Chains A and B, each alone.
Chain A
Amino acid sequence: MSMRIVIIGNSATAVGAVESIRQYDQAAEVMIISEEPHMIYSRPLLSHYLAGEIERPRLAYRGADFYVKHHVAAVLEDRVTAIEPDAHRVHTASGAEYAYDKLLIATGGQPIVPPTPGQEAEGVFTMTRLLDAERLLTYLRTHTVRRAVVVGGGMIGMKVTDALVKRGLEVTMVELAPLILSAALDQTASQMLSGLLRQAGVEIHTGNSVSEIGARGGHVAEVALKDGRTLPCDTVIFGVGVRPNVELARQAGLRVNRGIVVDEYMRTSAVDVYAAGDVAEAYDLVVDMNRTVAIWPNAYRQGMIAGAHMVGVLRPDKGGVAMNTVEAMGVPAMSIGYGNAPEGEYEVVTELDAPRHVYRRLVVKENRLVGAILVGQIERAGIYTGLIRHRIDISEHRRNLLSGHLSLLSLPDQYRKHVVRGVGIEV
């Protein structure tokens, strides 16, 4: 009898797993179970969809033939309610029961919604699922919405704000921290992006929060801020971030911290149970410890590693690097690794060209690049990422690399050869 693999989740992690399973093995039975009714779509594209930049069909991350082509049985619109690791079985809300030989938990995250009086009013949204985007778009079509309050000045809040501005709304962003994007950027980069948002008419309140949502006729009419101010508005969108969906794992007795703890093959503490993607606490090579990092490339890669291991192929994880891209009014920004590391403990090299909205901050520790923040000019940024990921000693080429002169000719010979050949890097 062939092996039976069950994957809970139908997103980046699941796709990485399926594609890698089929790279090595055609015989295993693979089943995907997902709570959402949709085919595989791209969560990060939701903000582009919201902005009106793309139509709904373009949300599809893989073709409609994905399941057929990879021989996957997809059970959509059903939620896994329990895992029995000893019996190797999962139960779903519809009452179904599925046996597995190997299980992958790829349940991602939940939007964080700080409990706020009045949050049940109509016109209050989160923005992590296609359903959320459809609901908000419907609300925008059927109601007069001029002013939006976005709660959260992190990556998601930023993307939602940019999208709503593109739709022509007046947006106010409310962020608890003293700076927006403070988890990823340093003060200079953060202030550059706030400046750009303000130029586009966005009002930003940092060091502040929404203490209450006021409604009129059941619909959002205003928010009260912690500092006592009241802002009239027609919709409130929570874009605070995500919390890993670990309840299933916890109830099943798996080892869970903030995320599900996994090893270099994405194995959890339970036999034959793997976890990967936003829900997993995997190794981050920059901070040199396990932690949750909710980004697409990590999800896909961890899915691949788990999938390979399930069918007996060892592709140990060398660790992820936290990174993301955002944009404010057409100016792109990137944060890679520990880009906002404090000066002193780390060597920090910066260059700022404020009028042109160009900024670069490179962070070095013991002759190795550990982080980068780039605003405005992002060409060839992956060269930095490669140096971080492979922990390359840059002492020979410090000057060129740190001055932003990004060329393969500025890389150490041995490493350059690997990059140029496109093979796996062992240096």
Chain B
Amino acid sequence: MKRIVIHEEYCIGCHLCEIHCLVQHSSSRDIIKAYRLERSHLMPRVLVEESGPISFALQCRQCEEPACIEACISGAMHRDERTGAVICDESKCVGCWMCIMVCPAGAIRQNLLGTRIASKCDLCYGADVPACVAHCPNEALTYEEVGEGR
């Protein structure tokens, strides 16, 4: 399975990943329309961690033993059969925040903008390359086949 690899040393803290993540998950997939019309219920599923000069973009780490799947009470959090990615089925999520309580990376957020749902990276479901990786100007995020025992 391919995973997003974070290269902290190349991150310039530009937040373009967040913008393109939001656009990718909008229904228009158009940056202007997404920000003008859909912003009210969208939030990025990637988060730039910053402290002084250090920064990196963080999204779901696709854990080998995902604590979020164990803790999910609705069955929304699951491993996609086709891609193997850990995904939240937003039509099942009830917003109980059990997953937020157990994600060791803090990579799941509350989306309270529409119906309450846990919001997380879905590796841009079906895409060859996730939007945050594709739009990173400095290759601080790459999409790679990473084996066991990385």
Give the interface of A toward B (CB within 8 A). Answer: 16, 42, 44-45, 48, 53-54, 58, 60-62, 296-297, 300-301, 304, 323, 325, 332, 334, 336, 378-383, 385-386, 389-390, 406-410, 419-425
Contacts and interface: CB of A to CB of B under 8 A. Distances in A.
A130 to B, nearest CB: 14
Interface residues of B, number: 37
A53 B100 contact: no
Given A60-B75, A423-B149, A53 B94 contact: yes
Given A61-B74, A380-B106, A45 B94 contact: yes
Given A409-B54, A424-B64, A382 B100 contact: yes
B119 to A, nearest CB: 11
A304 B98 CA distance: 18
A334 B103 CA distance: 14
B129 interface: no
A421 B96 contact: no
B82 interface: no
A214 B74 CA distance: 37
B39 interface: no
A379 B109 contact: yes
B134 interface: no
A407 B101 contact: no
Given A379-B100, A379-B110, A420-B61, A408 B71 contact: no
A interface SS class: mixed
A297 B108 contact: no
Contacts of A379: 100, 106, 109-110
B104 A382 contact: yes
B99 to A, nearest CB: 8
Contact of A44 (B69, B73, B109): B73
B96 A408 contact: no
Given A45-B73, A61-B74, A382-B101, A409 B50 contact: yes
Contacts, number: 115
B80 interface: no
B104 to A, nearest CB: 3
Closest 7 CB pairs of A and B: A386-B104, A380-B106, A422-B61, A382-B103, A44-B73, A297-B71, A61-B75
A339 to B, nearest CB: 12
B72 to A, nearest CB: 8
Given A58-B92, A297-B98, A378-B101, A421 B49 contact: no
A45 B95 CA distance: 11
Contacts of B104: 382-383, 385-386, 389-390, 419, 425
A412 B6 CA distance: 17
Contacts of A419: 61, 104-105
Contacts of B98: 296-297, 325
B37 interface: no
A403 to B, nearest CB: 13
